[in-house]
Amino acid sequence: MTGTLAQFSTALADTVAASTPYVVRVEGRQRLAASGIVWSADGLIVTSHHVLERDDGLRVGLASGEVVSATLVGRDPTTDVALLRADASGLVAPALTEPDSLKVGHLVLALGRPGKSVRATLGIVSALGDSWRTPMGGRLDRYLQTDVVMYPGFSGGPLVDADGAVIGVNTTALLRGVNLTIPVPTVRTSVESLLAHGKVRRGYLGVGSQPARLPESVAQSLDQGTGLLVVSVEVGSPAESAGIFLGDTIVSVNGQAVRDLDDLLALLPGEQVGKTVPVRILRGGQAQELKVTVAERP
């Protein structure tokens, strides 16, 4: 047993050592520094949005011990992702993995570099779920919760699987008292959008809404029990321009059922900005289809 434990211990230490080159320190707030991950060899660094209390004067501490200046490419508060460009090249980027093969109970390592050296904590995957809408309205491809101890400064650092591949970016800011990991597919989407636009674009109709039960006859014909009752329409919004009124009930967008707000948000990704889509509504018990040109959320 002693030999087995020793081998396991050595394997963990080797995984941490192999991860050291791509875990960096991010200096973007007055108090303790946070962590980040080398995303590409030419200096792109992924970290958490909430650890950057300023947009300028940013610095990144590399594995070599060198501290370099960095500029903010962009940030997405809704998923707590930020992208920096460090004044460095020839960096080591990690192997990335999808969370699909993970199971509850799998061992994982959370890594951080709030100081000069890498720190690590061991835990397990405690909860896995499907795609999840954050309280800020962002969408994570998977709900991924762990029981790792997130020491101060660990936000923005990687969660690593047993093979040493990065599963995602750790954060303590999306749910109070819960350690979540932003999975690699979500981070990749955010990085691509931030590089292209400096922000993550999301579609926008300009309505305030709440779920409402549909009349029985309508519910049966549409095979859905609820829609979104429009309780407000913003002046000058796409909804107003398309003729959506207070009291209408949205039942589908672009042919996809809308039962609640999550459905609507999921159907308005950044790719839809500028496109005209059919929006089916109920007005006075009668179905109508309107054409709405999706705008970018302010």
For residues 165-198, b (16+ Cβ closer than 10 Å) or e, as one string?
bbbbbbbbbbeeeebbbbbbbbbebbbebbeeee
* Active centre residues (catalytic): 50, 80, 155
Strand 207-213 versus strand 226-233 pairing type: antiparallel
Q: Phi and psi of 11, rounded to 5°?
A: -60, -40
Please give the Cα distance from 40 to 114 (Å, whole number). 20
